[in-house]
Amino acid sequence: MTTHKVAVITGASQGIGAGLVTAYRKLGYAVVANSRSITPSDDPLVLAVAGDIADPVVGARVIEQGLAAFGRIDSLINNAGVFVAKPFTDYTDEDYDLITGVNLRGFFEVSKRAIAAMLIQGGGHIVNISTSLVDHADSNVPSALASLTKGGLNAVTKSLAIEYAARGIRVNAVSPGIIRTPMHPAETHEVLAGLHPLGRMGEISDIVDAITYLETAPFVTGEILHVDGGQSAGR
């Protein structure tokens, strides 16, 4: 058991997720870190729980092991996500199962168990990672299944924020533009930068800073915070 607050972070092995593990430790939280390829940490206050969050048993295991190790769950960052851009009629059943499995089923299984733990202790905070493509569709980036799933996360963010507002649980979302992560090869960066009115890609720190702001903003709930270089405002 721990006297620290505890954050659960999915998709925690690289990119934004790895940045969040570092940020939450700096905030003094213990961290339960999940991804398919996560490896054990030398930090005793970072518990690595490997597994594909799309597998329904994994969300349960992440929360159960976090509670067993640390005794509480204060925050959940639903960072794991899959993005596949292709014309709508080119999507396959396998694409659909992959994208909805991670973006929706993974969210569902881990979030309902985290909320159950938060209700027992009297409060908590959830942050869902969306995409500005939900608000600002781009003909150069056909990605209907991202909008289908992440648009659902935007809607459920507000729904859960209202459902649990009186019980001490806040629920917010961060809606990024295109972020400089290992997902995007270096040769694509110039083109991707041009998709943002600010003329650059986002950095991992931009998203991490937005999430830590929400973590420390007790009067903010039901918010979808766009961190997208102006994409959602227009071009």
Task: With respect to residue 29, please indicate whether it lies within any of the assigned structural domains.
Answer: yes
For residue 84, the model assigns a pLDDT of: 92
Which residues fall within 8 angstroms of residue 167, CB to CB, at 6 or more apart?
119, 122, 123
Tokens of 84: 């596949």
172-225 tens-digit pLDDT: 999 999 999 877 888 989 988 998 999 999 999 999 999 999 999 999 999 999
pLDDT of the residue at 33: 98
Q: Report if residue 231 sits inside a domain.
A: no
User: Is 112 inside any structural domain?
Assistant: yes
Domains held by the chain: number: 1
Alpha-carbon 175 to chain mean position: 10
Instruction: Render each residue's pLDDT in the chain as its tens digit; 235 residues.
Output: 667 999 999 999 999 999 999 999 999 999 999 999 999 999 999 999 999 999 999 999 999 999 999 999 999 999 999 999 999 999 999 999 999 999 999 999 999 999 999 999 999 999 999 999 999 888 888 899 999 999 999 999 999 999 999 999 999 999 999 999 877 888 989 988 998 999 999 999 999 999 999 999 999 999 999 999 999 998 7
Instruction: Specify the pLDDT at position 2.
Output: 64
Q: Which of 99, 110, 123 lies closest to 218 in space, CA to CA?
A: 123
pLDDT at residue number 1: 62
CATH classification of the domain holding 32: 3.40.50.720
Contacts of 225 (CB under 8 A, 6+ apart): 172, 173, 174, 175, 210, 213, 214
The confidence score (pLDDT) of residue 124 equals 98
Q: Determine, yes or no, domain membership for 1.
A: no
Pull the structure tokens for residue 74: 């204060």
**CA atoms of 216 and 125, how far apart (whole Å):** 10
Domain for residue 144, yes or no?
yes
**Residues in Cβ contact with 133 at an 8 Å cutoff, skipping those fewer than 6 apart:** 141, 143, 146, 147, 150
Residue 135 structural domain: 6-226
Single pTM value for the model: 0.96
